[in-house]
Structure 1
């Protein structure tokens, strides 16, 4: 099994998420390939979706690669659960006329989440899940990020601790 390691030092966030290769193969492949080298991505507490830290993938990181292709909807949800790592994809010009597509890694940490955006309901792909033993720590760290504001989250390939 493949794992994604997620870290943010100010909040104490350290979590490992198992990729769901069989349920979301293309989205898991995207995330795994994107993390061929560790990536630092800006994270901010979402306004519309509830208990989520939103981590938009900088399009410049993938624009000249095969990763820039549209992501299919797999293992779809509108109501992510605590511990779900959700890939959301928005085609170019759909959200506010943005000329670039949007690829977002959502870290969901509590109950009551919904994938409702200013453009309406947008299903996402549950691509990975934080291991059960680390979900309480994920929730505490994400609550700290909510209080502290925007942060830098490091995503890398990892192993289960």
Structure 2
């Protein structure tokens, strides 16, 4: 059975993503479990990665040990529609004493996972299969209009 999650902007732009239980089974299942209750999170446009919005995973959904997620289905060059998982431990990067729980959504071609620490392979745990065009337009608007709250939820 395919497990899916939805990502929805306040303007109604909505994407459906299929979890990649074949190539990223632990990551996909862990994120699925963390989304037992839908989350509303602030999404910002990436500075280094190209066509990507990124969001943290709120404390209410931090129901697992992030360091227990293995390396799975990693790339530095995600495709349009790919969702990534990234965890950065406290003090991993200079002057960042807090940890970072990130879900990234690539909405266009030309994405690259490159940040202040250089190339950063990340687990690709899902891919958007429905609604990418409308969702991509809303993602692109965050670059100009600023951060937006999105809802991430399981699709039943």
Same fold? TM cut 0.5: yes
> CA shift at 1:69, angstroms?
3.2
**Residue 98 of structure 1: how far off its partner (Å):** 3.2
Match of 2:126 in 1: 128
Distance in structure 2 (CA, Å) of the matches to 1:93 and 1:103: 14
Q: Does 1:146 align with 2:147?
A: no
Answer yes or no: is the 8 Å Cα contact 2:82–2:107 preserved in 1.
yes
SS of residue paired to 2:72: coil
**1: CA distance, partners of 2:97 / 2:30:** 21
Partner of 2:131, secondary structure, is: helix
**Contact map agreement 1:73 1:123 (CA 8 A) in 2:** no
Shift of 1:102: 1.8
| Native 8 Å contact 2:35 2:61 kept in 1 | no
Residue 68 of structure 1, CA deviation: 2.8
Provide structure 1 residue ranges, at least 5 long, that are not aligned to the other structure: none
Scaled by the length of structure 2, the TM-score of the pair is 0.90
Separation in 1, partners of 2:28, 2:93: 24
Displacement of 1:97 in angstroms is 4.5
Residue 39 of structure 1, CA deviation: 0.4
Does residue 19 (structure 1) correspond to residue 19 (structure 2)? The answer is yes
Partner of 1:101: 99
Report the aligned-residue RMSD.
1.6
Runs of at least 5 residues in structure 2 that lack an aligned partner in the other structure: none
Number of aligned positions between the proteins: 154
